[in-house]
Structure 1
Amino acid sequence: MWRCPPGLLLLLLLAGQGALGDRRGRWRRELAPGLHLRGIRDAGGRYCQEQDMCCRGRADDCALPYLGATCYCDLFCNRTVSDCCPDFWDFCLGVPPPFPPIQGCMHGGRIYPVFGTYWDNCNRCTCQEKGQWECDQEPCLVDLDMINAINRGNYGWQAGNHSAFWGMTLDEGIRYRLGTTRPSSSVMNMNEIYMVLDPGQVLPTAFEASEKWPNLIHEPLDQGNCAGSWAFSTAAVASDRVSIHSLGHMTPVLSPQNLLSCDTHHQQGCRGGRLDGAWWFLRRRGVVSDNCYPFSGHERDEAGPAPPCMMHSRAMGRGKRQATARCPNSHVHANDIYQVTPAYRLGSNEQEIMKELMENGPVQALMEVHEDFFLYQGGIYSHTPVSLSRPERYRRHGTHSVKITGWGEETQPDGKTLKYWTVANSWGPSWGERGHFRIVRGANECDIESFVLGVWGRVGMEDMGHH
């Protein structure tokens, strides 16, 4: 091991000052561009020491890979102070390095200045003055610990990361991805319509609306970061019901935006709304198709004004209505107004819901969404206890509304039979099972059987011909 005598060191350092511009003879060893800028990027890096290298004179193979460049542990490197390894001076020469220590923090192979930030999922990390990171501690909507806990447990469903939710806090998920206000007690006490099962009538063990009514059951839309499930689930159920009750003569995808922008009486658009108000509007005013009045999305900015209503209708007698404006989408001319009859509430008994669904089409259901539901990827959902051991802020829930389209049952690995509903959500086709989910049936899981609505499309004889 060769240590440099102090006198020679001074000469070497002085020689280094003179040799900065002297690149002759360096043809095999061009300086790595920007290797040092203000000195060395990871001042604490142990390179020469780990390899125990300190070579005399000039030895080009006395080098190591260094953050995408090359650094040297031979004495020749010291003539330029720009391609030495970070610990060359203190390890090989026993002196402090000739550059200021870097102010900042390392992350992912680069240095951030003091007060520099990066995002770790939904939390912002900030570089502090002493060179350490401090990160926010918000619970994130996509929580990898929760995903692993659910998949390790035997809960009957699989969890995963839905990329649209990455970077959102749990609080934002509850605020922006649901959006149905719990009905008032007077609405919750709405009389239920009882579907009487005929004597001896046995409902099938499995049923899917899209098999009974092919091409009349519409695929899930995506409400984005708009807390408008009240409008999306209402439009979804009405679209299917109008198609079924007109025997396929009308098959509109109805416009959630028409409801979000125009149904403003006690409704909050993309900040939440009530189902009874949505059905009142569909009955009294009607809405156009989604093509005619497309979704404008984006409503995370609390300060932004809600988009104004661009579609109004007027009575034409016999309770029917016609549009008083052209379609907001100028490429579409069909601005027919679709209406429904008054919505009715079903009993909470699963047999009644099943009979209604099988005879008249998909139904709307209110449900309580918990923190683990956002992570659903497939299987038969039920709310898991995985967050019970964590602080309160990791357990959040809010009210959502969805469209039930069918039911079935599945034998579990332990031999038990699990009954489920098939339900369409409004988080787009890449969430869950192609935009749908299955949830335990017959146990009022997450309140899904507590408030279920049906409605009839308003279809006259004249609608059966010309569409």
Structure 2
Amino acid sequence: GGMLRLLLLSVILSTSVAIPLGGSSIEPDEGCLARFHAFRKEHSKRYASPKEEAHRLATFCSNLKEIDAINSRAGSTWKAGVNAHSDMTSGEFMSAFTMPKVPQECSATGPPISSLLDISAPLPTEKDWRNVTCGETSCVSGVKNQGKCGSCWTFSTVGAMESVHAINTGMMELFSEQQLVDCAGDFKNNGCNGGLPSQAFEYIHYAGGLVEMEDYPYVCGDGHCTTNGSFCMAKGLTPAVKVKTVVNFTEGDEKTMMKVIGLQNPVSVAFDVVSDLRHYARGVYQSTVCNSTDDSVNHAVLAVGYGEADEGGTPYWTIKNSWSEAWGNRGYFKILRGKNMCGIATCASFPILEVVNKRTKRHT
């Protein structure tokens, strides 16, 4: 095996190209080449041309340097690592996986949460809805993949709907993100160009419900979808779940958010993704360069729990992302709790559901 590896490495090295970076050309070092080769194999990467491959190799090597720099920060509460997207530049990643920043109306409207819920029970010191069973499965559905479409807001919304419905009924059912991409435009949402969970819950309320995923599957992951998704095909489909009330948290109110997550259900949140989050591997993420205002949120996700990390008792939220299981910690990350880090409590909301009589499924 060792001989073969040496042979492979010498083949890679002999066929390597000098990569022009900012006018000068640098030879990627052996360590980076070997890791790039392993990365390509692990993630089955195919590139269209030698030029593209050279660009991806240079990007990968540059990202490795960033990862090493993050991991050598003194006192950092999180670690970076290589993932499926480590051959993308920061710009490519941000345009593929986040939403454009537009001023959002996030602040609480409607009745106060205390009038809707009994959140006076004692609060658990930690919570993780992934470890709670609803029927035969977890109360949190599996990590999904939004692909190259700024539809994170639909995954955050649907994730909340799936969990709340499972907690209410004892049965996990999967609902349709594509319906929101295609149909929720009248509620200030823009398909693959962004939206907000609170606005999506409003759409579901007024439209009469959300259909099951299998009735209206997600098709935008390959990047072909327009700003507003495509033609809305929800008419004639039977809704599987309906929203009675949309609950919006007061901006920055992490205490109430903790009560709801601790005692009732996961919560949809939005925040400001900055470049280094794409390298996240484990630990409690925090940043000195992200913002927490409502005009800076560019990504929506699902808060499924909270706790304190062993190292130094750092308080965190446990967050389900929609960048596939090949990113982060099996698709999840932890972010600092208690300081509205990156605006994680700026646009938080969740739905109260109406009870829908379970229709008899016709299996065709």
Q: What is the TM-score normalised by the length of structure 1?
A: 0.58
Matched, 1:340 2:243: yes
Three-state SS of the structure 2 residue aligned to 1:230 is helix
If each structure's helix is expressed as a fraction of its own residues, which one has the higher value?
2
Matched, 1:120 2:54: yes
Match of 2:264 in 1: 360
Match of 1:149 in 2: 69
Match of 2:323 in 1: 427
Unaligned runs of 5+ in 1: 1-66, 69-104, 109-115, 125-138, 313-323, 326-334, 388-396
Match of 2:20 in 1: none
Residue pair 1:155, 1:384 contacting (<8 A) in 2 also:
no
Letter in 2 for 1:193: P
Three-state SS of the structure 2 residue aligned to 1:343 is strand
> How far apart, in 2, do the equivalents of 1:304 and 1:236 lie?
22
Q: Which has the higher contact order (CA 8 A, sep 6+)?
A: 2
> How far apart, in 1, do the equivalents of 2:87 and 2:26 lie?
21
> How far apart, in 2, do the equivalents of 1:141 and 1:459 lie?
52
Match of 2:39 in 1: none
Q: What is the TM-score normalised by the length of structure 2?
A: 0.73
Residue pair 1:192, 1:346 contacting (<8 A) in 2 also:
no
> How many residues align structurally?
303
Match of 1:270 in 2: 192
> How far apart, in 2, do the equivalents of 1:142 and 1:260 lie?
34
Unaligned runs of 5+ in 2: 1-13, 16-24, 29-49, 291-295
> How far apart, in 1, do the equivalents of 2:66 and 2:27 lie?
25
C-alpha distance after superposition, 1:64-113 (max 9, x if no partner):
xxx79xxxxxxxxxxxxxxxxxxxxxxxxxxxxxxxxxxxx9989xxxxx
1:281 to 186, 203, 218: 203
> How far apart, in 1, do the equivalents of 2:227 and 2:119 lie?
50
> How far apart, in 2, do the equivalents of 1:429 and 1:211 lie?
17
Deviation for aligned residue 1:264: 2.6
C-alpha distance after superposition, 1:171-208 (max 9, x if no partner):
222222022765634x435357344764xx54222111
Percent same amino acid at aligned positions? 25
Letter in 2 for 1:267: N
> Where in structure 1 do 4 or more consecutive aligned residues deviate above 4 Å?
105-108, 121-124, 139-142, 180-183, 301-305
Q: How does 1:188-337 map to 2 (within 5 A)?
A: 188=107, 190=109, 193-195=112-114, 198=120, 202-214=122-134, 215=137, 216-245=139-168, 247-248=169-170, 250-265=171-186, 266-285=188-207, 286-298=209-221, 300=223, 306-312=229-235, 324-325=236-237, 335-337=238-240
Letter in 2 for 1:341: K
1:404 to 290, 303, 318: 303
> How far apart, in 2, do the equivalents of 1:147 and 1:239 lie?
34
Residue pair 1:363, 1:403 contacting (<8 A) in 2 also:
yes
Three-state SS of the structure 1 residue aligned to 2:189 is coil
> How far apart, in 2, do the equivalents of 1:354 and 1:292 lie?
34
Match of 1:8 in 2: none
Matched, 1:184 2:79: no
The Cα RMSD (Å) is 3.2
Residue pair 2:197, 2:349 contacting (<8 A) in 1 also:
no
> How far apart, in 2, do the equivalents of 1:173 and 1:365 lie?
20
Match of 1:160 in 2: 81
Cα–Cα, structure 1 residues 449 and 336, in superposed 2: closer, same or farther, change >3 Å?
closer
In our comparison, the structure showing a higher alpha carbon Rg is 1
Matched, 1:454 2:358: no
Three-state SS of the structure 1 residue aligned to 2:317 is strand
